[in-house]
Structure 1
Amino acid sequence: MRDAMRWTRRRVILAVSSIAAVFVGIGVALPMAAQAAEGCEVDYAVQHQWPGGFTANVSVTNLGDPVNDWELAWTFPSGQQITQAWNAAITSSGGDVTAADAGYNARIATDATVSFGFNGSWSGANAEPAEFTLNGVVCNGGTGQPTDPTTTPPPTGGANAMETVAAMQPGWNLGNSLDSVGADETAWGNPRITQELIQNVAAQGFNSIRIPVTWDNHQGGAPDYAIDPAYLDRVEEVVDWALAEDLYVLINIHHDSWIWAADMQSNHDVVLDRYNTIWTTVAERFRDHSDKLLFESINEPQFNNVDDATANSLLDELNTSFHQIVRDSGGNNATRVLVLPTLHTNADQVYLDALAGTIASLDDPNLAATIHYYG
Structure 2
Amino acid sequence: MRHPPRSLLLAVAGAVALVGTALAPVVSASGATPACTVEYSVTGQWDTGFQGAVKITNNTAALSGWSLTFDFANGQKVTQGWSAKWSQSGTTVTTANESWNGSLGTGASVSAGFLGSWSGSNAVPTAFKLNGTTCNADAEPSPTPTEPPPGNGNAPALHVLGNKLVDADGKTRRLLGVNRSGGEFMCVQGYGIWDGPVDDAAIKAIADWKANAVRIPLNEECWLGLSNIKPEYAGANYINAVKDLVARVEAHGMTPVLELHWSYGQYTGNSAGCSDVHASCQKPMPDMQYSPSFWSSVASTFKSDPAAVFDLFNEPYPDRATSTTTQAWQCWKDGGNCPGISYEVAGMQDLVDAVRGTGAKNVIMAGGLAYSNDLSQWLTYRPTDPAGNLVAAYHVYNFNTCANESCWNSTLAPVAAQVPLVAGEVGENTCSHAFVDRVMKWFDDRNLSYLGWTWNTWDCSSGPSLITGFDGTPTAYGIGLRDHLRAINP
Please tell me the TM-score bracket, short chain as reference.
Answer: 0.3 to 0.5
Give the alignment's TM-score, normalised by structure 2: 0.37
* Structure ranking higher on relative contact order (CA contacts 8 Å, 6+ apart): 1
Instruction: Give 1 or 2 for the bigger CA radius of gyration.
Output: 2
Give the alignment's TM-score, normalised by structure 1: 0.48
